[in-house]
Amino acid sequence: MHRVAIGFGGLCPGLAAIIRRTLRGLPPGSAGARAAANGPKRLTGARNWDQSLAMTAFRYSARRPTGDLVSGDAQAPNRTALKAQLARQGLLLVEAQPVRRRGLPSLAPARVALPSLLGFLREFRHLIDAGLPQARALQLLKDRPGDPVLSAAVGALHAGVARGLSLDAAAAERRDVFDDIVRATLSAGVRTSRLGEALARLETFLTLRAEMARKIRRAMVYPTFLIGLLALVLAGLMLIVLPRFADLYAEFGADLPLPTRILMQAVETAPIWIPTTLLTLVAATLLWRGAMRRPALARRRDAWALQTPVIGPIIRGAALVQISYMLAMLLRAGAPLKEALEFVTEAMSNQVIRARLADVSAGIAAGRSLSDGLDETRLFPPTAQSMIRAGETSGALANLLDAVAKVQEDQVEDRIDRLLALIEPAMSLIVGGVLGAVSITGYLPVFGISGGVQ
């Protein structure tokens, strides 16, 4: 069974290559959400509100046919749509950077759970295969009990199709729920009149990606438990146990060795520095997330992550698995190579890899082959590169991309297993060493007190 590896964010948040998009859907129960559920006649205000939230604001530079450079701000679902939008105005896009909203970043934005999205896609596929029109199928599925965000998104999807939009264009109005890969698959399925088949491939892709994410989360349970246990035990020692030892030593007038004096000083100031440390960590997290909204800093972070000795190969391998699987899926669904690669590029969270794929896409537009473009990026290892070149020559590119993904995925899983095999005993030693050192340091003066009493 195929398995899909995604980013390594669950294993190392500081190196996570995935920058999550904040859900910006209609608030559940709001007037706009009710209008989206009631149909197109009452949807005008809600549609404008929802569409404006689904768009991304870009600051762009472009050239006129005369060669003059112009710049400005525009809203579009993604860079590809912005490029097409500017082309209709006679402008050639040179550079575009998303303009983020100001304010504190959310620590826990609302999201549509992947099982809920998979359930909707599966039911939608069954209705399409049964011969129902898209609008009718969406009307039957727009009430999603227990998931108001998905209900509003499906309602907006139904309203868009009912007013004449194509399925992928309607999904673009809710790109907080339907990401680039989902919309690319829908577009390819509609264009080739094989929507049911395209949805089936999308289900498989999302299911396998969720499976790998679940494996990574399960593997991280033990290290996370040890870190949490260490923090709780240290807090208990500093706030409850060791203060009693300090009172005992003061009562007996014990001569404290230097390590114990340092520890007792930390115990006395614990009510101050423990909350301060917690607040500092929260503030640092907020500042980090805010800083990573800047494209230049995000690129530096992603470049550093790829160069990290242990984590870098895992991040690169997971990205190659994602690229190969997604590209194969879109090609099988009927998407043209250039368009499929553009959607895959937009789906990549690592800015360095995204930039290299964008260069490959530009080369394909200029008439170059996929294998030649990938060869210059040095993203894929030589064996995988040879398989892709053979796939282009034989006309079996999708099949060989699947084969590349399987090989890379096995390597990623092996690296993760080896890393976790090192992390688990190392964490046990660190936890035992810290707790042992604190306990021994705090207990040293007891020997002197016992000798004095005897």
Q: What is the pLDDT of residues 376-393, one digit of tens each?
A: 888 899 999 999 999 999
The mean per-residue pLDDT over the stretch 28-40 comes to: 38
Give the three-class secondary structure for 318: helix
Domains of the chain with bracketed CATH: 1-20+213-454 (1.20.81.30), 22-99+112-178 (no CATH)
| 260, pLDDT greater than 90 | no
Distance separating alpha carbons of residues 192 and 205, to the nearest angstrom: 19
Render pLDDT for 218-231 as a digit per residue (tens, 0 to 9).
Answer: 767 878 888 888 88
**272/368 Cα distance (integer angstroms):** 63
**What's the pLDDT at 256?**
82
pLDDT at 37 over 90: no
Q: Is 87 left (phi over 0), alpha (psi -120 to 50) or beta?
A: alpha
- Average pLDDT in the chain: 78
- C-beta separation of 452 from 252 below 8 A: yes
Q: Using H for helix, E for strand and C for coil, what is the string for 366-382?
A: CCCCHHHHHHHHCCCCH
pLDDT (0 to 100) of residue 424: 80
pLDDT at 328 over 50: yes
Angle, nearest 10°, between helix axes 134-141 and 148-162?
A: 160
pLDDT value at residue 293: 82
Residue labelled with tokens 């199928």: 137
pLDDT for position 30: 38
Q: 42: which DSSP letter?
A: G
What was the pLDDT predicted at 127? 94
Ranking 117-126, 160-169, 389-398, 439-448 by mean pLDDT, the lowest is: 439-448
Edge-to-edge strand list for the sheet holding 56-63: 69-76, 56-63, 92-98
- Residue 67 pLDDT > 80, yes or no? no
Q: What is the pLDDT of residue 387?
A: 93
As a whole number of angstroms, the distance between CA 351 and CA 334 comes to 27
The tens digit of pLDDT for each residue in 73-117 reads: 777 777 777 888 888 777 888 777 766 544 444 444 457 888 888
Two tokens at 213? 């994410």
- Token pair for residue 26? 């209609």
Q: Which residue has the higher pLDDT, 110 or 215?
A: 215
In the predicted structure, residue 31 carries a pLDDT above the cut 80? no
3-state secondary structure the chain: CCCCCCCCCCCCHHHCCCCCCCCCCCCCCCHHHHHHHHCHHHCHHHHHHHHHHHCEEEEEEEECCCCCEEEEEEEECCHHHHHHHHHHCCCEEEEEEECCCCCCCCCCCCCCCHHHHHHHHHHHHHHHHCCCCHHHHHHHHCCCCCCHHHHHHHHHHHHHHHCCCCHHHHHHCCCCCCCHHHHHHHHHHHHCCCHHHHHHHHHHHHHHHHHHHHHHHHHCHHHHHHHHHHHHHHHHHHHHHHHHHHHHHHHHCCCCCHHHHHHHHHHHCHHHHHHHHHHHHHHHHHHHHHHCCCHHHHHHHHHHHHHCCCHHHHHHHHHHHHHHHHHHHHHHCCCCHHHHHHHHHHHCCCHHHHHHHHHHHHHHHCCCCHHHHHHHHCCCCHHHHHHHHHHHHHCCHHHHHHHHHHHHHHHHHHHHHHHHHHHHHHHHHHHHHHHHHHHHHHHHHHHHHHHHHC
| d(C-alpha 158, C-alpha 164), whole Å | 10
Whether pLDDT at 324 is above 80: yes
The CA-atom distances, in angstroms, between 118 and each of 4, 21, 236, 278, 319 are: 15, 19, 44, 38, 22
pLDDT, tens digit, 9 for 90 and up, residues 136-174: 999 999 888 888 889 988 998 999 899 888 898 888 888
Mean pLDDT of 13-42: 36
Least trusted range by pLDDT, from 15-29, 229-243, 317-331 = 15-29
Q: Looking at residue 32, what is its pLDDT? A: 38
pLDDT higher than 60, residue 358: yes
Confidence of residue 279 (pLDDT cuts 50, 70, 90): very high
State the pTM of this model.
0.62
Distance CA 346, CA 413 (A): 25
Question: How many C-beta atoms lie closer than 10 Å to residue 106's C-beta?
Answer: 12
**pLDDT at 247 (0 to 100):** 82
